[in-house]
Amino acid sequence: MLQNNILSVAKETISNEARAIEELINLLDHQFAQAVEDIYNSKGRVIITGIGKSAIIATKIVATLNSTGTPAIFMHAADAIHGDLGTILKDDIVICISKSGNTPEIKVLVPFIKNFKNTLIAITGNKDSFLGKQSDYVLNAYVEKEACPNNLAPTTSTTAQLVIGDALAVSLLHLKGFSSKDFAKYHPGGSLGKKLYLRVSDITKENQKPKVTPETSITEVIVEISEKMLGVTAVVENEEIVGIITDGDLRRMITTNNNFTHLQAKDIMGKNPKVIKNNAMAVDAMEIMEEHGISQLLAQENGKYVGVVHLHNLIKEGII
C-alpha cells in the first residue's frame, strides 16, 4: 500500500504540472513575440535575475541561452541591490523572474533597472503585480496551484518559469538560424559535442596505420596486425585500398588450412571493404559499423589509404 500511495502522489504531481504547462500555451501573446524580437535585435546581453527558487530557474535559463547563441548572465536579485547592479550595461535586456512579482528584493531592484532605461521583461505568475506593472513586457507564467499539497512549495510555478525560458531560447534559436554546427561550437566537450564536430581524421591521425601489399606473406600479415593492434590491416597497391584482412580472416584461415606459410595477403583478403572518407564525421563511421556489423573501417583521402577507425575509438571518444 505504501508503494501504491507513493506512485499515486508522484503521478498526480506530474499530471498537475503537465496541465499547468499546457495552459501556458493560451497565455502566450504579442508581448512574448515582441520580447523575443527585442532580444534578437539587441546589441547587448540578456541579464536574468530572481531570488529564491526563481533564481535557480534563472541560472538554468541563462545556461540554455548561452548554449544556443544568445549571450546571457545571471544576476542574483539580492546581490544586485548590494553592488552587482554594475553587471547591467547600456544595451542589455533584463529579465526578472518572480512568481508573485511583489517580493521585497524585486520591489527594491526594479526601480533601479528602470532608472538605467534598460528594457525590462517580467516572467511572473501575477501580471498585475509590482513587477508586472513596471515591466516593458510581461510573460505570463500563471499557474492555478502548486503541486505541493499545501500550495506553498514552488513546484508547478518554477516548472512554468522554466518552460517559458525554454520557449524564449528556442524562439531565438529559430530566428538566428542556429545550426548543429553552431551548437557544436558551444558544446565542444562531452559526447554531445563530439558527435557534432569529431571527424574520422581526428581518430586516424592518432592510430597506427597497418598496411600490407597483396604479395605480403601471411607471416608478415600476422606481424603487421599484431604490432599495430587494431585487429586489421589494409591491403594496398600504390596507396590505394584493394582489400582488407581482419583477425577474423586469420582465424578462418587457420581453421581451414593445415599449412598456410605459403599463402599471401591476396589469398585471404576481403575484397571491396567498407571505407569512409577521412573528412567524414565520426558519427557517420559509427552508423556504417552498426549497419554492417563490423568493428573497423578503412579511411581514405583523395582515393588514397590514410588509416583505420576502430569501434573502440568511438567508444573511447563517447560517440557510442
Can you say which residues are annotated as belonging to the binding site?
76
Burial, 292: exposed, middle or buried (Cβ in 10 Å; 0-12, 13-18, 19+)?
exposed
CA atoms in the 13 A half-sphere facing the CB of 260: 22
Q: In the sheet where 46-50 sits, what is the strand order? A: 72-76, 46-50, 93-98, 120-124, 137-140
- Nine-digit cell at 144? 492555478
C-beta of residue 134 within 8 angstroms of C-beta of residue 120: yes
Residue positions counted in the chain: 320
Coil vs helix vs strand at 118: coil
Count Cβ atoms below 10 Å from residue 229 Cβ, excluding itself: 10
C-beta of residue 296 within 8 angstroms of C-beta of residue 246: yes
Q: In the sheet where 232-237 sits, what is the strand order? A: 211-212, 232-237, 240-246
C-beta of residue 161 within 8 angstroms of C-beta of residue 123: yes
Task: Say how far apart CA 145 and CA 125 lie, in whole Å.
Answer: 11
Task: Say how far apart CA 198 and CA 196 lie, in whole Å.
Answer: 6
Task: Say how far apart CA 127 and CA 142 lie, in whole Å.
Answer: 8
Residue 110 parent element (H or E): helix 104-115
Binding-site sequence positions for Zn(2+): 76
DSSP string, 80-98: HTTTGGGG--TT-EEEEEE
